[in-house]
Chain A
Amino acid sequence: MSGTYLGLPSFPAAAREATRDGQLRANLRHATHTIRSKRATAISELTDWPQLRAAGAAIKDHTLRHLDHYLLQLEEAVTAAGGTVHWATDADDANRIITALVHATGHTEVVKVKSMTTQETGLNHALAHAGITAYETDLAELIVQLGNDLPSHILVPAIHKNRTEIRDIFTREMTHWGRPAPDNLTDNPTDLAEAARLHLREKFLTAKVAISGANFMIAETGTLAVLESEGNGRMCLTLPDTLITLAGIEKVIPTWQDLEVFLQTLPRSSTAERMNPYTTLWTGTTPHNGPRTFHLVLLDNGRTDTLADTTGRQALRCIRCSACLNVCPVYERTGGHAYGTPYPGPIGAILTPQLHGTTTPLDASLPYASTLCGACYDVCPVAIDIPDILTHLRERITQGGPTTRQGQKTTIKPAKRHRLEHTTMRTTRWTLQHPTALHHAQKLATHTRKLHPKNPPGTTTKAWTTTRNLPQIPPTTFRQWWQQHQKQTTQPTQHTQQAPHTEKAQPAHNTEQNELTPQTPQTPQNGKSEKGQQNEKGGRQQ
């Protein structure tokens, strides 16, 4: 990994590499299975989980429907509490605003509390470009940063690394960023945590500027909330003089009381904890306590476009708990990098193509990175119907249709890559619409079945036959058997029951006739005679 998302290949190609990396797959499997089963236990403790889930979805839906209102209310409340609100239309805009704010403080170093939104905008690169060094302070983000890597998971960004790999990164890299790793560092988790603690403490005590994300923003009071497990976030949020928070506009909720729902659902869904270890809430600035200056940068970056889509807008309910990643069988085998943005897994597959549009090969491949198995929908604490949105986005890619980009309604054309597929789909649809044509095609297939090659040419077939055999076409279709069966059952005197599988010994050309001949002598006690009576009760023979 090169520490940047630019130039990543489309999902299937990236996934091919990932599925071949045995160590990566083992790390992922272990981590996702552990957290998956813990989460299930944590959820099962709450008898009102379905109600909490519905409440979370309802609060978010209501807020999204009146987003303009709540954002203005939030701005007013934050300003009244001594903060300053900035509006950013896209990633560049956000990075420009934040860079200027940091420059204005006169400092060139900032500490960061884990924020996916800053990953989304590529803030660290923008800051570096402007001569500002950003230090990640979340343990996993620190590992990712030191390793010049990219996060692979929303909640556990370094999920793809094991302890030994982390030890090597610390030993090699810490010295370039500040306090070096202790000599002879082991890969014992306690030792690794201690090394990180010493390294980070220096940063916390010297940093004058902090940059954070936010889990929730309360419109009523102008309060922001960050939920984290290590306490490093709280250091960032309370020690520096200046605090700059970047948050997507969808993070707003109307009232303080609404938090109660999410403070129950988020920790249980993400870390399987009953209560979050560190929940830091702040409202503007407070004299003699915490940062003197507070800036809130509200980011759109494709969110209002997403909001304009009546099916896809559900994705904005997401509270980034990562439960969908941990149950996703595709994520489990590929890890997060294959998804090409900070939002991997099922949520990434629906969010990224909505925020970016579906025009690049990577964005257009993401909605297909799912089997539509539905496990993600089942676990989502705000009930986002991810499979439905995936199908909806596939539609946009293959058929084109109306969409909104940068606030403008446009109609996009079907993606070029899918032209051949579209033709196939149209032809098969036509055949399926015309049963006679279909039956002819089926007959042809069964009659020529002995001639079919084991590995027919064509990229689609190859994609199947590299690891799997094609099913062999049986000598008769069900329809052909049914016609014979019907003749039998409508002539009660010749009544015989077929065993379900009688064709196997018959030569292909002679099947229909053979099927009329019972393979096993019938006894009066068998199911057949009962069936005869029941058929008389039924209506068909009369």
Chain B
Amino acid sequence: MRVALFLTCVNDLLYPDTGRAVVTLLERLGVEVDFPAGQTCCGQAHYNTGYRHEAEPLVRRHAEVFAGYDYVVAPSGSCVAMVRENYPRMAERAAAEGRDSGRGLAAAAAAAVPQTYELTEFLVDVLGVTDVGAYFPHTVTYHPSCHGLRMLGLGDRPRRLLQAVRGLELRELPGAQECCGFGGTFAVKNPDVSAAMGQDKIDNARSTGAQVLCGADNSCLMHLDGMISRQNTPLRAVHLAEILASTQEHPYQTPETAGKIR
């Protein structure tokens, strides 16, 4: 089984810990992971902001880089949704517009789409595991990001994985299915609404009394953690992969910027 890690651009630069956690976790489960060095970005920010033409070269590059792997795994539901849902759509539109790149895009979409999995899908559906042997002695509440929840239909996979973690106490997040307000460039184009939504999400998370707000998409966590750290709230935003990678021997250690879990 040739598995490629599609780390996503946000993780590569800002959240390398998540990438390390995915590698550690998958290797612990016996998966041989490769990281194709040519990867950069799936083009989601460009596409969602209205720059479809600018996103097209990124689609072709992405498909080339990941061609030939049995599985491509990413710790980000929204980037996976971009590949699986929007690549074919982009190919269709380009073809309808009669642009040459249309054919290239259709091939690119066909090459990239079928084997691209979000991390929890890969664990549960492909590897068939829910107990990944993790240990994380903290109270956790889980925010399902919108694209994972609605576009990919991840369902209860993340929660099943979390429930199997030893030492972890899972607390229900009120209004879990509501958007956190990140929304890519929405966060800066409509900062007031974005912050109002983020605040409600944080208030809901705090009301559970959990120490950790877990998510499976670092872009949403970046927005929430940005508010949490500004407010000095006793809550840590942690990516699901890092919780699953944590074991008794190698427990989760907070990154230098994040401080301790209280």
Contact = CB atoms under 8 A, between A and B. Distances in A.
Given A391-B48, A429-B54, A478-B12, A371 B19 contact: no
Contacts of B188: 460, 463-464
B65 to A, nearest CB: 9
A435 B37 contact: yes
B146 A425 contact: no
Interface in A438-481: 438, 442, 445-446, 460, 463-464, 466-474, 476-479, 481
A471 B49 contact: no
Interface stretch (A154-162, A202-210, A280-288, A499-507): A499-507
Contacts of A463: 187-189, 191
A119 interface: no
B57 A433 contact: yes
Given A370-B183, A481-B16, A333 B58 contact: no
A429 B184 contact: no
A368 B189 contact: yes
Interface string B5-18: 00101011111110
B91 to A, nearest CB: 14
A372 B183 contact: yes
A373 to B, nearest CB: 4
A427 to B, nearest CB: 10
A292 B233 CA distance: 69
Interface residues of A, number: 89
A527 B247 contact: yes
A525 to B, nearest CB: 9
Interface in B212-262: 222-223, 225-227, 229-230, 242, 245-247, 249-257
A12 B40 contact: no
A423 to B, nearest CB: 11
B12 to A, nearest CB: 5
Given A395-B50, A433-B57, A481-B19, A497 B250 contact: yes
State the main secondary structure of chain A at its contact with B.
helix
A471 B223 CA distance: 9
A538 B32 contact: yes
Interface string B25-60: 001101010110111110101111111111101100
B52 A501 contact: no
B40 A433 contact: yes
Tell me the dominant secondary structure on chain B's binding face.
helix
B192 A499 contact: no
Contacts of B230: 467-469
Nearest to B14: A471
B49 A398 contact: yes
Interface stretch (A90-98, A105-113, A528-536): A528-536
Contact of B41 (A25, A432, A467, A489): A432
A333 B249 contact: no
Contact of B20 (A25, A370, A478): A478
Contact of B195 (A399, A468, A477): A468
A377 B181 contact: no
Nearest to A328: B179
Nearest to A531: B27
Contacts of B198: 467-468
A334 B193 contact: yes
B178 interface: yes
Contact of B253 (A333, A476, A499): A499
Contacts of A378: 150
A526 interface: yes
A470 B226 contact: yes
B133 interface: yes
Given A374-B147, A471-B225, A425 B7 contact: no
A535 B150 CA distance: 36
A503 B47 CA distance: 34
A477 B227 contact: no
Contacts of A477: 12-13, 16
A370 B257 contact: no
Given A398-B50, A426-B54, A464-B191, A442 B13 contact: yes
24 contacts: A12-B190, A15-B193, A20-B192, A371-B194, A374-B151, A375-B178, A378-B150, A399-B51, A429-B51, A433-B40, A442-B13, A467-B230, A470-B226, A473-B14, A478-B19, A478-B35, A497-B24, A503-B256, A504-B254, A504-B255, A531-B28, A531-B30, A538-B32, A539-B32
Closest 4 CB pairs of A and B: A371-B183, A394-B50, A468-B226, A373-B179
Given A432-B61, A530-B28, 9 more contacts: A371-B186, A373-B179, A428-B45, A433-B57, A497-B27, A501-B17, A501-B255, A504-B255, A520-B249
